[in-house]
Structure 1
Amino acid sequence: MDYVATFLEIINENNEASVHFNFRLVHQDTGQSVFVSSLRNVFNEKTSFTCWGLPKFMKKSDLVTLGYLKDDCLEIECDLTVIKVGEIDVPPPDLVQNLGDLLESQVGVDVTFKVKEEAFQAHRILLATRLPVFMAELYGPLSDKRKRSIVVEDMAPRVFKALLHFVYKDRFPAMDDLDGSEYEEMGKHMLVAADRYGMERMKLMCESILCNRLSVETVAATLVLADQHHCSKLKDACIRFIDSSNRIDDVAASQGYENLKRACPVLTAELWEKSAKSRKL
């Protein structure tokens, strides 16, 4: 071979490291070293190689002439710097925390919502970003850009406060003070609010809450709610709950059944038809 090759190889498997290395040649007579080449590379399991270097480092004839190769001996110094990838801890995303702090601090608020006897302040641009309804109301072609106060009808203050909490923090507020039935009722009100303002993720989370709390006493009322607010997953869950173990007679004796008959007569007829068929089987 006419050339001398030099390579570095990573020995430990499944390791990842960023490597910076300099090659220096040592003169056989003087012992002085000179810089020749500098390389940088990342070794990891995704790459198809475990070594990296120069297949044509220098010609043998040049090394002999310059006094670096003598009696088949060549001395190379390597200055090596290894930075293990992952040693720098990156904190988790804090955007949601920052937005929540913005809501709590009330810094820069520019719109007020009046809900019954209570008032809630917020940021127009953030609301418009998160809620399609507010995008149209606050920034649409027919909107009043100078409007600073909005009256919210047909909603309890606690529900609107929970809606705002979700808008800024992408999660529900703590509701530890509510008992089981109150928690379920709050879930229904939040579902209505989510549907009203186009918060699809919040709406699905409310559906999940109500789905996990279905009972013979509540399923009829929940089914009506699901039908009215186009909650297909919750509606299917209610129907499966009624169909399972043939609960239709027990559901018919519940308080919410009369409302189910009035609000969803076709659906009620289908439930009885399915029940009759299952009994024949």
Structure 2
Amino acid sequence: MNWSTPNTVTGFLSMAETATHQFKCCYSETKDLPSGRSITSPTFSVAGHNCNILYYPQGSKGSFIKLTFVIQCISAVTASFGFVFLDKHGKPASKASDRSIFTFSPACEKYWFMDFIGKSDLETEFLKDDYITLFFSVTIQSNNSHEEVPKQLVTGIVPFTVNEQFAELPENKEMADITFEVGGEIFTAHKSILSVRSPVFKAEFLRGMAESNMKRIQIKEIKPVIFKALLHFIYTDSVLDMPDEDTPLVTQVQHLLKAADRYGLEGLKMICEEVLIRNITLDTLISSLALAEEHNCQELKNACLGSASEPEILVQLALKSEYVQLMQQYPSMLKSLNDSARDNDDFCYIMNWKKQRYN
């Protein structure tokens, strides 16, 4: 792929470090990449953290592009960031992202800008000499200095304590106006915040449903640790570590994705989907594939099918009893895998043997 030379300008304040990175990519060479495939920018560094921009030409719906910002971190890092495209004349366009604030962690290193620009608009308004160009600005709190910064020097930089303050709100029972009982544990919350963040909670609280007048709601089929993580995301837009030594990480994330889908939290759902994609193994593939089909996670489904189409993996999958159950439940996936396995003699032999055995 034809990338321009990395162009990053970094500025320092005693409490934060800001970098502006130029992202430039040849459109004609990348526009036909399959859905779920991305182009990764050269790495640039901010406050000691390596960062990248991922460009998905097919986006999530095919008619839009998608951008992802990635920070590699070993502990929680809060960043403020945004970008602006250059138009076909090479000048900053009015089309720019809102400035976002997000807390990244080792379990959540990506932030998605979904369906930001339609491909037709991109082709007519934002291409110059067949190149897409944008400037990405990111500010990260620095641990290298403890000097006090005059307020006039940091105007426009949002205090990094906001997430911490919001994270404490569910614990403040005096201000809460709704209580949830989940698996024998009690959680307090605020209807106004839940309604703004979740369309499902909004419908329950504001549209005359039975829950609108309730002060206490019992939540079933969600574990307390998952519901706590759900509330944490609602209040802080970041993912909480879920300490549960008895449950594998992938299983916890699968449960969290189900909860996110249940309450219409698309941002959390995408984060869970990305974690599951990074953790696809022979042991997790079938359960993640079923989850993707049930909750309409197209990128997770594509990643699972891509892994399953590898000859050695496909044969090992066919030996699992869960594979037959999955294919019976979702026949469309059976067709996809069968198409990729036509020349795999071992797979065909195993499937024919199983068909005779179970018929």
Which band: TM-score by shorter chain? 0.5 to 0.7
Q: TM-score, normalised by structure 1?
A: 0.63
Query: Are 2:342 and 1:276 aligned?
Result: yes
Match of 2:180 in 1: 113
Q: Which runs of 5+ in 1 are unaligned?
A: 1-85
Distance 1:87 1:120 in 2: 40
- Among 65, 89, 106, the alignment partner of 2:154 is 89
2:200–2:264 Cα contact (<8 Å) kept: yes
Quickly say closer, same or farther: Cα 1:196–1:145, change in 2 above 3 A: closer
| Alpha carbons 2:226, 2:242 under 8 Å: kept | no
Distance 1:182 1:108 in 2: 35
Residue matched to 2:214 = 147
State the number of aligned residues.
195
Q: 1:135 aligns with which of 168, 189, 202?
A: 202
| Percent sequence identity over aligned pairs | 31
The corresponding residue for 2:353 is none
Mapping for residues 71-82 of structure 1, pairs under 5 Å: none
Post-superposition shift, 1:211? 0.6
Matches within 5 A, 1:170-181: 170-175=237-242, 178=245
Matched-pair contact (CA < 8 Å) for 1:217–1:254: no
Q: 1:157 aligns with which of 224, 229, 241?
A: 224
2:225–2:242 contact (8 Å) kept in structure 1: no
* Structure with max Cα Rg: 1
Alpha-carbon distance in structure 2 between the residues aligned to 1:243 and 1:145: 48
1:193 corresponding residue in structure 2: 259
Name the Cα RMSD after superposition: 2.5
Mark the CA change 1:139 to 1:216 in structure 2 (over 3 Å): closer, same or farther: same
Structure 1 residues 85-129: Cα deviation after superposition (integer angstroms, max 9, x where no partner): x97134534432321122233341000111121111100100011
Q: Distance in 2 between matches of 1:188 and 1:153?
A: 16
Q: Greater share of helix residues, 1 or 2?
A: 1
Aligned pairs for 1:27-42 within 5 A: none
SS at match of 1:256: helix
Q: Is the 8 A contact 1:217 1:256 kept in 2?
A: no
5+ long unaligned stretches in structure 2: 1-150, 346-359
Contact 1:195 1:203 in 2 (8 A): yes
Calculate the TM-score normalised by the size of structure 2: 0.50
The answer as to whether partners of 1:112 and 1:148 remain within 8 angstroms in 2 is yes
* Deviation at residue 143 of structure 1 after TM alignment: 5.0
User: What amino acid does structure 2 have at the position aligned with 1:227?
Assistant: E
Q: Give, in whole Å, the separation in 1 of the partners of 2:289 and 2:184.
A: 32
Distance 1:233 1:145 in 2: 35
Q: Counterpart in 1 of 2:274?
A: 208
